[in-house]
Structure 1
Amino acid sequence: MVLLSHPALAAQRCAPAAGARAAAVRVACSGQCRPPPAPRGRGGRGGRGRRAPEVNEQQVSWPAPVRPQPVVGVVGGGLAGLVCGQALARRGVRCVVFDTGEHSAGGRLATRAGASGSLRPEWLPDSLRGAGLAFDHGAQFFTATDPRFQKLVDRWLAAGAVREWAGPVGTLDAAAGRFEAAAGGAPRYVAPGGMAALAQHLAGPDGQAGPLFELRRPIWVSAMRAVEGKGWQLTGNNKSQGFFDAVVIAHNGKCANRLAAPSGAPAVARQLMRLKLNSIWALVAAFPEPLPVPGGFEGAFIKGSPVLSWAANNTAKLGLAHLGHEGLQCWTLFSTAAYGRANKVPQEAIPPETAERVKDEMLAALRAALGPGAPALPEPVFHRCQLWGAALPVNFPGVPCIFDPVARVGVAGDWLTAAGDAASMQAAAISGLELAERLHRLVQLGARSASDGDLGGDLAGLSMGLTEEFKLVANHDIGAFPGQQPEEAIAAVGAAPKAAGGGARPQRQGQGRGQGQGRGQGQQRPREREEQAARV
């Protein structure tokens, strides 16, 4: 491995990088070499520093072909990371996926449920423990229009990992209290028992990835370092997790930036740091009796509310049985991006008074959206707020993945692709598949070129997404559902109207730290949006 000054990639040698061991890292540069800057902040979770991390411009380059039995490290066990890891394993490439989830991998395939322990017993009143409460508080449902993704979905259907959601699902006009069910479009899919079950299926033996696929959790990968003769060393939970021939970064936001910036893959780091994200509040609430919703809807994109963008009845959607609590309903509400931005606080330590106020304002907005003649909502018997601080992409580069074959570092995620798919589960899966294909081609290329070691010209053909300009996403509130959502409904949800049909108006909170400021609101794309609500 050599480090090359970027972008000149000069050929002059300098001293070994500071901190290197006996097998010193050789550096080719213009005579002003310096070691990669150390990651900022606390060990383990990247800290809370407000300054953007400094990008190490010395490009890591691995001149030799990939070894015969390579190992790829995937940082992030959301859908993109899991699909990428599975696709690599099926092609004979060993893969280790790292995820921070205590109860499950999956990222925004997230379900809070009493049965899994993710709905902690101490959060619940004694009477509701064992009552079968479950809330999808990330991905709400997904659709498939791409044949590659549909092939995966068909496999999940056959295994019973997902099923169709008949609804009714549609649009709720908050000004009139009128619900209009969606007609036609691509089928909606959910996972029985909650979306986290799909992640568990993909990570487990039923996912059919085989012995070459390994999931490690809960592990927070805090550093990656190139070591000559060994590969990329990943550090997580304050100890080495081993050496890897290539690394996939399958998450985003500040922690991903801090991981990539000092690594020696500057083009990858700069693209990650160009991404801007909005925040979304999620409220999960259990009501002792059915809510008086028009049309008996099970899911609704909310049009005309400055506070709410989505509401879903998990009890009906997931077919939950609440023993001893007949009539109880579990609901998930998502805020608009404008409300999330105006009420942003540190998501790791939400002040109790903020959580209570957000709960009151979101419930008031739901009550108002049901129409002036609707009865009052019953008081919830359980509720909990969560702020997804890096929920929704504001901009995107319009490529399925990012890959630097020289450094052997790639990025996968739902935020990369074209606007109509942005922040959808389909986009996440396609991103993982595309990056796995390029990594596999790199492995094959290395096997064919082992005799001469000259990969230069071929590597250029594997590169993707390193220089693309970012464009604004059109639909910033809930995500993309390819082939599914009415155009006019999506346009309205993203509008953040000046006059509300009730509910509290967004208010800027003095306690917010401005972490999301400058992450503009983007206007998100009419037609097709999905899983941001889901992606919250």
Structure 2
Amino acid sequence: MKPSIAVIGAGLAGLTLARELAGQAEVTLFEKARGLGGRMSTRRQDDRQWDHGAQFFTARSRAFRQLLAPHIAAGTVAEWHPNLTTLSPEKPPFKRPWFEPHYVAVPGMNALLKAMAAGQEVRLQTRVAHLRRRPDGWQLFDEQDGDLGTFDRVVSSAPLPQTRELLGPHLAEPDALAPYAMAPCYALLLAVDAAALPAWDAARVNHAPLRWIAFNHRLPGRGPAGSVVAHSTPEWAREHLEHDQDWVQQQLTESFLALTGLPVRAIAGARLHRWRYALSNEPAEPGEGYVLDPQTGLAACGDWCLGGRVEAAFLSGRALARALSRRP
């Protein structure tokens, strides 16, 4: 009889784990959001869209390139060749080259996850609030204490703070999650007059509250309506995380206007997204790319295990799947 595994979080790490364990286990993914994505989410309004988390990804490992190959062939993933610049309040812009391929999912960053979820059992809008150990496994409960089922193993691929909250009290090694950390980030989403934008497509930013600006509508497969995603630095976000959100939006908008030289009238609308757990630090000690507690059957994976890139989420989920395959 195949073991049953509950995976909390249907992002890239969780979906990779389920994909790798196909045929070996009965995997059920629980996702609190109404759609797939996590930090690969896409927001839409009228004829505009914003990839307000990850804007692109690289493929440095052979395994990740193999995963992407059929999606590239199908048009779900495309290589991105932006006109990239560097901005700073004190210096003129200068062109910034990229020396390796960069990719995006089409028509939004969550398209890759939607493709990977095909054939998987995913329960959307289902938040796992707590779990309880039973003689026959782990029983999961939602926020109303509703029974979500009992499973042989539970894996959290959620961001680190949620993983700590869910699994921490039950781990045989209380310090198993101690080496890992995450940082916040703000995403400013602007509807703009596309004709008013400069010629470059994306920018790295130095010495400002913002650290990244991209003209989202210029990514492959997007529509023509002007849309901008601007990310803050983690340091600025941490300092202003609990400040009035209207004030935060105003400060980031002013930084964007100062860096780009756009007039205020070029902005047709603005929204703000606060990522409390956006960026992952390199672990204090190098590990295997996942957390596995053999005594309890609990485990965790995610980009935060390997330093935060999109590819790190894939590699973490894949490494944990292989570790679970070796265990009874």
Shorter-chain TM-score bucket reads over 0.9
Q: Quick one: distance in 1 between partners of 2:121 and 2:102?
A: 30
Q: CA deviation at 1:191?
A: 1.0
Q: Deviations over 1:68-90 (max 9, x none)?
A: 3111111111111111111111x
**Which residue, out of 383, 398, 405, partners 2:286?**
398
CA separation of 1:133/1:168 partners in 2, compared to 1, >3 Å: closer, same or farther? same
Q: In the alignment, which residue of structure 1 is the partner of 2:107?
A: 193
Q: In the alignment, which residue of structure 2 is the partner of 1:95?
A: 27
Q: Deviations over 1:348-379 (max 9, x none)?
A: xxx7xx23222221122122223xxx453434
Q: In the alignment, which residue of structure 2 is the partner of 1:302?
A: 205
Q: Quick one: distance in 2 between partners of 1:222 and 1:355?
A: 27
CA separation of 1:167/1:289 partners in 2, compared to 1, >3 Å: closer, same or farther? closer
Give the 5 Å matches for 1:46-195.
68-89=1-22, 91-102=23-34, 104-114=35-45, 130=46, 132-183=47-98, 185-195=99-109
Q: Quick one: distance in 1 between partners of 2:262 and 2:158?
A: 43
Q: Quick one: distance in 1 between partners of 2:51 and 2:97?
A: 21
Q: CA deviation at 1:430?
A: 0.4
**Which residue, out of 240, 245, 255, partners 1:343?**
240
Q: Quick one: distance in 2 between partners of 1:393 and 1:250?
A: 13
Q: In the alignment, which residue of structure 2 is the partner of 1:381?
A: 268
Identity, in percent, stands at: 29
- The answer as to whether partners of 1:310 and 1:333 remain within 8 angstroms in 2 is yes
Residue 138 of structure 2 is aligned to residue 232 of structure 1 = yes
Q: In the alignment, which residue of structure 1 is the partner of 2:187?
A: 282
Residue 155 of structure 2 is aligned to residue 248 of structure 1 = yes
Q: Deviations over 1:105-129 (max 9, x none)?
A: 2211111013xxxxxxxxxxxxxxx
Q: Quick one: distance in 2 between partners of 1:273 and 1:99?
A: 25
Q: CA deviation at 1:244?
A: 1.1
TM-score, normalization: structure 2?
Answer: 0.92
Q: CA deviation at 1:169?
A: 2.7
Give the 5 Å matches for 1:127-526.
130=46, 132-183=47-98, 185-204=99-118, 210=119, 213-228=120-135, 230-238=136-144, 239-263=146-170, 265-267=171-173, 269-293=174-198, 296-305=199-208, 307-322=209-224, 328-345=225-242, 354-370=244-260, 374=261, 376-396=263-283, 397-399=285-287, 400-417=289-306, 422-442=307-327, 446=328
Q: Quick one: distance in 2 between partners of 1:166 and 1:190?
A: 10
- The answer as to whether partners of 1:172 and 1:180 remain within 8 angstroms in 2 is no
- The answer as to whether partners of 2:160 and 2:304 remain within 8 angstroms in 1 is no
SS in 2 for 1:271: coil
- The answer as to whether partners of 2:282 and 2:308 remain within 8 angstroms in 1 is no
- The answer as to whether partners of 1:111 and 1:135 remain within 8 angstroms in 2 is yes
Q: CA deviation at 1:260?
A: 1.1
What is the letter of the counterpart of residue 309 of structure 1?
R
CA separation of 1:312/1:401 partners in 2, compared to 1, >3 Å: closer, same or farther? same
Q: Quick one: distance in 1 between partners of 2:71 and 2:85?
A: 25
Q: CA deviation at 1:216?
A: 0.7
SS in 1 for 2:39: coil
Q: Quick one: distance in 1 between partners of 2:252 and 2:92?
A: 16
SS in 2 for 1:254: helix
Q: CA deviation at 1:157?
A: 1.1
- The answer as to whether partners of 2:249 and 2:272 remain within 8 angstroms in 1 is yes
- The answer as to whether partners of 1:289 and 1:378 remain within 8 angstroms in 2 is no
TM-score, normalization: structure 1?
Answer: 0.58
Q: CA deviation at 1:258?
A: 1.8
Q: CA deviation at 1:248?
A: 0.9
Q: CA deviation at 1:436?
A: 0.6
SS in 2 for 1:198: helix
What is the letter of the counterpart of residue 332 of structure 1?
V
Q: Quick one: distance in 2 between partners of 1:159 and 1:101?
A: 27
CA separation of 1:148/1:330 partners in 2, compared to 1, >3 Å: closer, same or farther? same
SS in 2 for 1:96: strand
CA RMSD between the two structures: 1.9
- The answer as to whether partners of 1:171 and 1:182 remain within 8 angstroms in 2 is no
SS in 2 for 1:189: strand
- The answer as to whether partners of 1:252 and 1:272 remain within 8 angstroms in 2 is no
Q: CA deviation at 1:200?
A: 1.4
- The answer as to whether partners of 1:314 and 1:329 remain within 8 angstroms in 2 is yes
- The answer as to whether partners of 2:78 and 2:220 remain within 8 angstroms in 1 is no
Gaps of 5+ in 1: 1-67, 115-129, 205-209, 323-327, 346-350, 447-536
Q: Deviations over 1:457-510 (max 9, x none)?
A: xxxxxxxxxxxxxxxxxxxxxxxxxxxxxxxxxxxxxxxxxxxxxxxxxxxxxx
Q: CA deviation at 1:137?
A: 0.5
Gaps of 5+ in 2: none
Q: CA deviation at 1:101?
A: 1.2
- The answer as to whether partners of 2:27 and 2:121 remain within 8 angstroms in 1 is yes
CA separation of 1:86/1:192 partners in 2, compared to 1, >3 Å: closer, same or farther? same
Q: Quick one: distance in 1 between partners of 2:223 and 2:169?
A: 50
Q: Deviations over 1:43-99 (max 9, x none)?
A: xxxxxxxxxxxxxxxxxxxxxxxxx3111111111111111111111x432211111
Q: CA deviation at 1:414?
A: 0.8
SS in 2 for 1:266: coil
